[in-house]
A and B are shown apart, each in its own frame.
Chain A
Amino acid sequence: MGDTLVALERFAGLTALVDGARHVTYGELIDRADRLASALPPRSLVFLQAANTVEAIAAYLGALRADHVVHLVGETDEGRLGRLLALFRPNALIRSSAGGVDVEHLSGAAAPMHPDLRVLLSTSGSTGSPKLVKLSARNLESNALAIAEYLGITAADRAITSLTFNYSYGLSVLHSHWAAGASLALTEASVVDPAFWATFAQSGATSLAGVPYTFELLARNEAWAASPSLRYVTQAGGRMAPELARRLAGLGARHGWDLYIMYGQTEASPRIAYLPPKLASTHADCIGVAIPGGRISLIAEDGSAVGADETPGELRYEGPNVMMGYAEEPAALALDETPPALLTGDIALRTAEGLYRIVGRVSRIVKPFGVRINLDEVQAIARATLPDAVCAGSDARLVIAATQAPPVKFVDELAASLGLPAYLVQALQLDEIPRLANGKVDHQSLLRLSEAADDGVSGQAGSAPGEEAGFLGRFVHEMRNILGLSAQQWASVRDIYAALLNRPDVNGASSFAALAGDSLTYVQITLALEEYLGHAPEGWEGQTIDELERARDEQTAF
């Protein structure tokens, strides 16, 4: 590994971590890291459970310094972890525990690994399958330096751990701060927990990193925005609504901090683009420009480069931070499969100002009658009439759903504007837009609701199946479901767990195992998942609800 992320002796006297009242210097962190890593055989494959603790971070640093290859796993990935352990046969598993970390020495039969390989991360969309992103020292260092440069991170900065570092976004916060000799304030509390903001204030943190959902939560109470030490806020991990971005930028302007809207993918270690903060309020719908050292281009459907402004094409990224390829089996660890460029799967256009704006995903393109329709564009058109409209579709239909009643001519006018026959377009008024556990719109549920409306399954408009006929009707409906005479209509994995485990309090991090599910409910949920997902993934009982949803609605953008 190069010096940037491991030769931290140059910062030995500076604070690296703040854990409550305890300040850990880089020198102390290095000592602790080297002690932990010395117990491992040379060039080991190490699975490390990431946690926002001194010990877990020291273990990670130690593994990097000792030239080991580290796969970072989350705390709730047990089912998946078991499969990965069996497949990749690492030399050691380091788990976080109350007393620090436990090093479990395993078989020692790890496959040969490429000398440049340093870190293995899960892709955000593939948590249900053993597909890891291979990252080299060059990938990680170049991205850390680029981030530190455009954020202007100095040794005086202090980020609070609002994300865990098994996520590429959280890892980039760690790396970019190491690159600048800056520090991290450790907390495992949620941003809505007062303890989080107490830690923020006590530690004098200067930055906050969040995904869109973070800021949707924080939008309910804006007191946090007045934190006097706050210098900047970063947002990545998906597209944030421009209105919310503008609101955040306004808050920042009022309280003296900057908002950085960022874009990336785990495959790019992860950062690809950022929006300079001075543009956050005026170009809140843009991802900005390529990070230092990177280059963005757009590729048309026929493979040619898009030259003109405001013309959509698939976003292509080139830079030293593009991964070494994927590892789906141990043999891939020995290979450097760095692609010439990263095709992100996102459709973007370049504005006249030279900023890039994401307008959809390749997977959000449908072709009814061979007409290329971008569902995100349709959604934007629909929102002119129905402000909270969302759009789902297939090659056979377009569905617009909103909580407001569509005007009488809405469907005809929308279809005409798209050049489609009106019978392909359906508008649904819903009490609530169905969402996945991670807050994203559940497009598959919209399609199913649309089909149900077509099939007349609900018996009458205004009710979901079985809900319209009182207890007897529901009883008959449930009997039919149990006997397999009709298919159950599930809106999400969360609904399945809530209904069958009788646990309305489940959340995205819940798993069947963690909810103390038992063999009596296991079968019911297996069947429901078969019906909802198309199959019940191997080891689903150990996966979280979010992971199961992601397995169904794969989104690779990060």
Chain B
Amino acid sequence: MNRPHSRVDVGVDVLLRAAGISLVVLNHATSVSQAPHFLAGLNVILVVAGFSFIRFLPQRASASQIRGALLAYGAGIGWPSLLMMAVSIAVFPFWRAPGRTAELSLHNVALFPVWYPVELVQFIVVLALVFSAPGVATTLARRQWLTTLALVVFTVLIRQAETHLWRTGVLDGSGPHLMLWNLAAGMMLFAATRSPRRMLASAASFLIVAALCWVTWGPGALRTWSTLAAAALLLGVSRVSLPFALARGLLIVSQACLFIFLLHKPAIWAFDAFTQTTDTIASFIWALSVTTAAWVICTAGSRALRRMPVGGRVAAVAPAR
């Protein structure tokens, strides 16, 4: 029997993902009339996602391997997102919602659960476009840090340009195209840890992220400090040792990140509708729990369906007295 140890080494990216998704839920569980809001989780998740995307590429990945990984990444996130979009639109037609216009605008769509899958699908599309550009994937395979730095610059330019071209109402500063630089920054942070000049690349990466956070959100914003904390942890601490029970809880939330991301808002709406309360903490706990539980149930069901037999199976035991 494989027995768990009392302490487990957990990657800091895993913990950050759990913290990030919790902040997302907490932000939406907060009543609109209450302050402060916790607008920071998505930035942390995106930085971690960029970090992980490059981390899980073979270090000498070819251009086609990078595109293949992107495709797999997109399929893993895209199909559930599209499914969620379809269900959400069927169940919550946004044009019938009170206070909304029939205009098919990002502003209108964003205030429905559909915004989250849309966000993810847009990320995949933008990434696919970036990596299908001639030479990007090839250059990334050879000069990781410099390429990711260029990606950061490119995505910042996208942000600057699109802010002037596309008004997104209450979502100004929060649209996926506007936060793509977080993803690129995560890539750059990981590339820095692999660079032959690690210290120099890490320091430069951190300063670049700090400068961008400062300029984008200002020095007092929670998202500035949470993104910087995430960057510092990703650069400086690869793993932390935690008691098994605590680690297990955090790891489950981290694993359930996509489920929570897609489902938390309907869960909060349902809670508010049924309880008629605006209790932030209760709403947060409910939404996090129910969406995590949904992941556990779906994952257990999926594994039960395709469970692989172990290599050796006890068929009979000649008794040891």
Contact size class for B? Answer: 35 or more
| Contact A475:B301 (CB < 8 A) given known A487-B2, A520-B76, A532-B2 | yes
Which of A78, A432, A504 is close to B59, meaning CB atoms less than 8 Å apart? A78
B254 at the A/B interface (Cβ < 8 Å)?
yes
Bound CA–CA A513/B59 (angstroms): 8
Q: Is the CB of A514 within 8 A of B58?
A: yes
Subset of 9 A-B contacts with CB under 8 Å: A426-B317, A431-B315, A457-B1, A463-B313, A478-B303, A513-B56, A524-B255, A530-B9, A535-B5
Bound CA–CA A194/B307 (angstroms): 35
Bound CA–CA A458/B55 (angstroms): 38
Would you list the 6 A-B pairs with minimal beta carbon distance, nearest first? A491-B311, A434-B312, A519-B52, A434-B311, A474-B304, A427-B318
Q: Give the size of the chain A interface in residues (CB under 8 angstroms).
A: 93
| Contact A499:B308 (CB < 8 A) given known A487-B1, A518-B73, A531-B2 | yes
Q: Is the CB of A526 within 8 A of B313?
A: no
Q: Is the CB of B4 within 8 A of A431?
A: no
Q: Is the CB of B306 within 8 A of A430?
A: no
Minimum CB–CB distance for B306 against chain A, Å? 6
| Contact A530:B303 (CB < 8 A) given known A428-B314, A429-B316, A451-B1 | no
- Residues of A close to B48: CB separation below 8 A: 519
- Across chains A and B, the number of contacting residue pairs, with CB separation under 8 Å, is 218
Q: Is the CB of A479 within 8 A of B59?
A: no
- Residues of B close to A454: CB separation below 8 A: 320
Which of B58, B255, B317 is close to A542, meaning CB atoms less than 8 Å apart? B58
Interface centre among B48, B55, B142, B258 (most CB of A within 10 A): B55
Q: Is the CB of B252 within 8 A of A526?
A: no
Which of B52, B142, B251 is close to A527, meaning CB atoms less than 8 Å apart? B251
Q: Is the CB of A452 within 8 A of B49?
A: no
Bound CA–CA A394/B58 (angstroms): 38
A247 at the A/B interface (Cβ < 8 Å)?
no
Interface pick from B82-90, B107-115, B238-246 = B238-246
A21 at the A/B interface (Cβ < 8 Å)?
no
A12 at the A/B interface (Cβ < 8 Å)?
no
B11 at the A/B interface (Cβ < 8 Å)?
yes
Q: Is the CB of A426 within 8 A of B318?
A: yes
B100 at the A/B interface (Cβ < 8 Å)?
no
Hey, what's the 0/1 contact readout for B65-85 against A, CB within 8 Å counting as 1? 100110011001000000000
Minimum CB–CB distance for A219 against chain B, Å? 21
Interface pick from B24-32, B118-126, B190-198, B229-237 = B190-198
Minimum CB–CB distance for B178 against chain A, Å? 22
A353 at the A/B interface (Cβ < 8 Å)?
no
| Contact A491:B312 (CB < 8 A) given known A482-B300, A534-B5 | yes
Minimum CB–CB distance for B56 against chain A, Å? 5
Which of A86, A426, A445, A488 is close to B311, meaning CB atoms less than 8 Å apart? A445
Minimum CB–CB distance for B314 against chain A, Å? 5
Bound CA–CA A85/B60 (angstroms): 14
Bound CA–CA A107/B200 (angstroms): 12
B3 at the A/B interface (Cβ < 8 Å)?
yes
B220 at the A/B interface (Cβ < 8 Å)?
no
Bound CA–CA A430/B57 (angstroms): 38
Q: Is the CB of B1 within 8 A of A452?
A: yes
Q: Is the CB of B248 within 8 A of A484?
A: yes
- Residues of B close to A149: CB separation below 8 A: none
Which of B14, B65, B296, B312 is close to A483, meaning CB atoms less than 8 Å apart? B296
B10 at the A/B interface (Cβ < 8 Å)?
yes
